Amino acid sequence: MAEEKKYSTVHYKNYLGLDKILDAQHLRSESVEGKGAHDEMLFIIIHQAYELWFKQIIHELSSVLNMFKTDDVDERSISTAVHRLERVVEIQQVLIQQIRIMETMTPLDFLDFRNHLFPASGFQSYQFRLIENLLGLQEGERLKYNGCPYFSVFDEKKQQELQEMSSATSLFEAIEDWLERTPFIQWGSFKFLEAYKESVSRMIAREEKAIAATEYLTPSEKEMRLSSLKNASSYYEAVFDKDKHAALQKKGEIRISYNGMMGALFINLYRDEPLLHLPFKLLVAIIEVDSALTTWRYRHAQMVLRMLGKKVGTGGSSGHEYLQATADKHHIFKDLHNISTLLIPRSELPVLPENVKTQLSYYYTAFKL
């Protein structure tokens, strides 16, 4: 007879470590001046809550990375990865909403204790840098902080850890490798790139003809639209020609590999095929994580502008200007966003051969076919 499992008892406050958590709010204004600034409590709790949520985000992203940093991804894990990435997005929405709570503190309220914060700064959040490195923000893409590398504000041990992580496999690289292995791009006699190129050529020719024939646009408006169409056409060239893709990579305009982009494009175009439902949801979830991070940076920058105006940040940065610049520049998965440029209407999609459609169907559906 199996021995019955025994479970130890635990009290709510001990399980959650509430004594430690609730005793972690120490107002510097109170310890220095003897009288605490009322809103310093809010300031501390908001940032402690951020760090707790950062810990959960790291927990989720690390698990997804472990699923994908292998040459043999278990396809059954994609659903789990999507679920965890969607959870990260929900957490990010909470982080964005917390800014509204912070904004209940007025600039004058903040000035009651701001002088006690020097030289502390949100830039010194080690966990936030871990999140950026996990996602795949490259060191060469980062804005300098007061002319120094981003890791310079940490002690030697943490600097080493951040540098080691930045050279390890990131989620960007793991997903890129996975996309490069996308099958069906060339399957027997079906050559996706050739069929796609023909469809794009027909679509562009039809759009050019429609612009030229319309009576609702002035000559200058027609010229502007044709120019815009030409610019979009040049982006297609990065798909049609590996050398042009490589040239754009060298210039820093594209980061993802050629085969990775082809895989992402195929999944986006044929998302309605049963076996591509989850891969498409995975790409959408990654884009949403990247977008939410950018939104948080932007809202943070706007909040700092409201609180400080043109003042220098407590850590010595340019404050709002620096934060706004990171929102504009620190996009990690912009190549997945830009796949939208390459999409064509469903009516223009190259028809998949039956053997490819069968492979992209669920087993039962394929059996019926």
The pLDDT of residue 100 is: 96
Q: Check pLDDT > 70 for residue 36.
A: yes
Where are the strands (E) in the chain, listed by range?
Answer: 186-187, 190-191
Q: What does residue 148 show for φ and ψ, rounded to 5 degrees?
A: -115, 160
The pLDDT of residue 189 is: 78
- Work out the widest C-alpha separation in the chain, in whole angstroms: 89
Q: Check pLDDT > 70 for residue 316.
A: no
Q: Is 190 helix (H, G, I), strand (E, B) or coil?
A: strand
Q: Check pLDDT > 70 for residue 364.
A: no
Q: How far apart are the first and last CA of the chain?
A: 51
My answer on whether omega of the bond before 119 falls inside 30° of 0, hence cis, is: yes
Confidence class for position 103, pLDDT limits 50, 70, 90: very high
Confidence class for position 358, pLDDT limits 50, 70, 90: confident
Contacts 24+ apart (CB under 8 A), 154-159: 154/124, 154/126, 154/129, 158/126
Structure confidence by residue, pLDDT tens digits, 272-301 = 999 999 999 999 999 999 999 999 999 999
Instruction: Give the DSSP per-residue string, 253-297.
Output: S--S-HHHHHHHHHHHHTTTSGGGHHHHHHHHHHHHHHHHHHHHH
The pLDDT of residue 150 is: 87
Between 237 and 145, residue with greater pLDDT: 237
The pLDDT of residue 365 is: 55
Confidence class for position 119, pLDDT limits 50, 70, 90: confident
Structure confidence by residue, pLDDT tens digits, 215-272 = 899 999 999 998 888 877 777 888 889 999 999 999 999 999 999 999 999 999 999 9
Over range 340-363, report the average pLDDT. 88
Residue 258: how many other CB atoms lie within 10 Å = 18
Q: What is the model's pTM?
A: 0.90
List of domains in the chain = 36-368 (1.20.58.480)
Q: Check pLDDT > 80 for residue 363.
A: no
The pLDDT of residue 340 is: 93
Q: How far apart are CA 262 and CA 289, in angstroms?
A: 22
How much of the chain, in percent, has pLDDT values that exceed 90?
62
Q: How far apart are CA 267 and CA 15, in angstroms?
A: 44
Helix axes 277-308, 78-102, angle to 10 degrees: 20
The pLDDT of residue 5 is: 75
Over range 28-32, report the average pLDDT. 93
Over range 104-113, report the average pLDDT. 95
The pLDDT of residue 2 is: 63
Q: Check pLDDT > 60 for residue 366.
A: no
The pLDDT of residue 312 is: 67
Confidence class for position 325, pLDDT limits 50, 70, 90: confident
The pLDDT of residue 309 is: 85
Tokens 């964005």, located at residue: 96
Lowest mean pLDDT across 1-5, 177-181, 201-205: 1-5
Per the prediction, the chain carries an average pLDDT of: 90
Instruction: Give the DSSP per-residue string, 182-230.
Output: -TTSEETTEEHHHHHHHHHHHHHHHHHHHHHH-SSS-HHHHHHHHHHHH
